[in-house]
Chain A
Amino acid sequence: GENVEQHPSTLSVQEGDSAVIKCTYSDSASNYFPWYKQELGKGPQLIIDIRSNVGEKKDQRIAVTLNKTAKHFSLHITETQPEDSAVYFCAASIIQGAQKLVFGQGTRLTINP
């Protein structure tokens, strides 16, 4: 079955700097890769997703890149702000197929003022 590895497990950056979180997946059939942000005591919130037919997607300060050949995808947050502090999870699934999301272990991002 699918296995998703996420790095780093913790990340601390200065406010205004960029943050990058990386994930690798094992199942070449996976074709949908969402990223979720989870704040303390809350449910995961979808922040951006990418499908395997595109290599990059941007939404304001957030971008995701996908390398299907290497089976890895990354989350990029630019101009970080204190409210970006949270735990971020990557996931992989097969749209129209198995459907279930397989999550990475999470990255605790801390933005230092």
Chain B
Amino acid sequence: NAGVMQNPRHLVRRRGQEARLRCSPVKGHSHVYWYRQLPEEGLKFMVYLQKENIIDESGMPKERFSAEFPKEGPSILRIQQVVRGDSAAYFCASSPARDTQYFGPGTRLTVL
């Protein structure tokens, strides 16, 4: 049984570039969540998606950030025009229903 997969595991971008983070949920899970973790801090909720729908994006910055979970393929978290403050670990979690969330290994984004 494959767990939640995220890629890339590490991503380096220069200020102003775009970052694309991918998340493949556990097979059969249709609910995906994205969280951000700053160094030495807890995880902060960003967005909750079901297939083709954004359910809750209350934790996601209004500008430069977007997320999608298409009918086919992985969920994508996109950050446009990255700034140094975007440097963090981004975690994806999935669940089969509105229930227990299982996390992936994360993508560590570094903005130079």
A contacts, CB < 8 Å to B: 6, 34, 36, 42-46, 49, 89, 95-106
Assuming the contacts A43-B91, A45-B103, A98-B56, asked whether A103 and B48 have C-beta atoms less than 8 A apart, the reply is no
A2 CB to nearest B CB, Å:
10
> Which of B42, B59, B102 is within 8 Å of A46, CB to CB?
B102
Chain A, residue nearest B106 (CB)? A43
> Which of A96, A97, A104 is within 8 Å of B42, CB to CB?
A104
Assuming the contacts A99-B56, A100-B45, A100-B56, asked whether A44 and B99 have C-beta atoms less than 8 A apart, the reply is no
- How many cross-chain pairs have Cβ atoms below 8 Å apart between A and B? 57
Which residues from A are CB-within-8-Å of B103?
36, 43-46
- C-alpha gap A108/B91 in the complex (Å): 19
Interface of A is mostly: loop
Q: Is the CB of A44 within 8 A of B91?
A: yes
